[in-house]
Structure 1
């Protein structure tokens, strides 16, 4: 009964051991990464790397670093190339496939645009973190696209969510961009000090950009309606929930005047 109801909303899983394995591995690894964030073992980029850098150096460990900008270009570039390549070499896969690949391409193009023209960087990024993030995004994009291709052989789900997905995706990507823009305005050129963000939803949560990023991936899942896309989105929610919790804890530790009523991710709730 539950399975038959679920299959009204999603395609049946394709007969692919690779997609099946990646569905489990990717979703589980992202949720685990979120739990690690909550436990204080954060992925080392942005403010968390800058804070821990001296401790790592004091331990005698060698760190191979990229500039913050170059690190993020490495992180997002391959996934963007994979998405654009799928559109160029698989043009006749149908509307849903085109929507999903286009949404991924737009998502990563926006990120690269922000890296080059919006974000201001206060430090560097360890190359191993850049490679881990890059590999994760590349494989996730590739698997989302490949899973969509494989599901093209099945009848469409009874409940069509792709148009709702377009709306949710657009809300997510615009909201994410706007709050990244607000973050970029916190510092003048050359300023490396962290400040408490203000404006937009920053008055309610410390990570509204993560909230809108989650909405973006929910939109892609609705456009896709595949098990893999759903699993990746669930894992992303798990990771960004943990990351936002760690971010709020970081602000509380660094700023005595941080507003206690500002939540981590969801206004008034969490």
Structure 2
């Protein structure tokens, strides 16, 4: 087991990456594929393949790192393990196969995302099963329940928002002039352009509260740093693409931005 001081350096690295990522994405739109896909980023792979490769370690390696911890058999850490796996099993092994076929992802983007997932997975898995302390009494702490409710609510918003997008792309309302895209309606899209991103930010904010840890906080900060600029880019794309895009709809936070 690494000394606590060394572990804290890895957490600090993740927080530093959040700052760098936020600044970079304020100027560069990451070409994950789909509406923001473009040439000039080197070799590409099918987006489905890219998503599986970069997200699978967050599920598989998390379990391996978790099982190395002294607290792996305790109730509260097991609950955290289930929450984490609920997100990443869906993200790595369900979501990619529901994506639109034909889109591609730059290999460099896939590798950068995979590298972050390796760091983040290790930081959080080791915290909940080794460095953190979660006796059964943590189940009675309001922070645990507030965090879990936020996590579950954010997960539901994320998944249902993705489902609305998929159904929209399959419908006859999607026009060829906009690459098969049209204005999403219903659910969180009544309020913001990227409720799927908002849902994920809420999820990991809930994780940070439920685990009440610097590891969870680092992940929540990085999630916001990564997704908030992308939400703003999506919002600008919708406004530039559709003349009738709802003026009252915000980018990420209802009624605010």
Question: For 2:89, what is the secondary structure of its paired residue?
Answer: helix
User: Is residue 2:218 matched to residue 1:239?
Assistant: no
Counterpart check, 1:98 vs 2:106: no
Tell me the secondary structure at the aligned position of residue 74 of structure 1: helix
- The higher relative CO (CA closer than 8 Å, separation ≥ 6) is in 1
**1:130 and 2:117 correspond:** no
> Are 1:206 and 1:264, in contact at CA under 8 Å, matched by a contact in 2?
yes
Answering whether residue 204 of structure 2 is matched by residue 217 of structure 1, we say yes
* 2:14 matches 1:26: yes
Residues 53-202 of structure 1 mapped to structure 2, 5 A cutoff: 53=39, 56=40, 63-86=42-65, 90=69, 92-148=72-128, 149-152=130-133, 160-188=142-170, 192-202=179-189
The one-character-per-residue Cα deviations of 1:131-178 (angstroms, maximum 9, x if unpaired) are: 111121222021111122112399988955222222221111111111
- Paired with 2:72 and 2:83, the residues of 1 have a C-alpha distance of 17
Cα 1:204–1:254 change in 2 (3 A) is: same
- Deviations for 1:186-227, whole angstroms, at most 9, x for unmatched residues? 2229x8522222111112100001111111112211221111
Q: Over the residues paired in the alignment, what is the CA RMSD in angstroms?
A: 2.8
- 8 Å contact 2:65–2:126 — kept in the other structure? no
Q: 1:140 to 1:87 in 2, by over 3 A?
A: closer
1:34 CA displacement: 2.3
Contact 1:104/1:141, CA 8 A, preserved across alignment: no
Give me the whole-angstrom Cα distance separating, in 1, the residues matched to 2:116 and 2:126.
15
Unaligned runs of 5+ in 2: none
Aligned to 1:208: 195
Q: Structure 1: which 4+ aligned runs deviate by more than 6 Å?
A: 153-158
- Cα distance 1:176–1:33, how it changes in 2: closer, same or farther (>3 A)? same
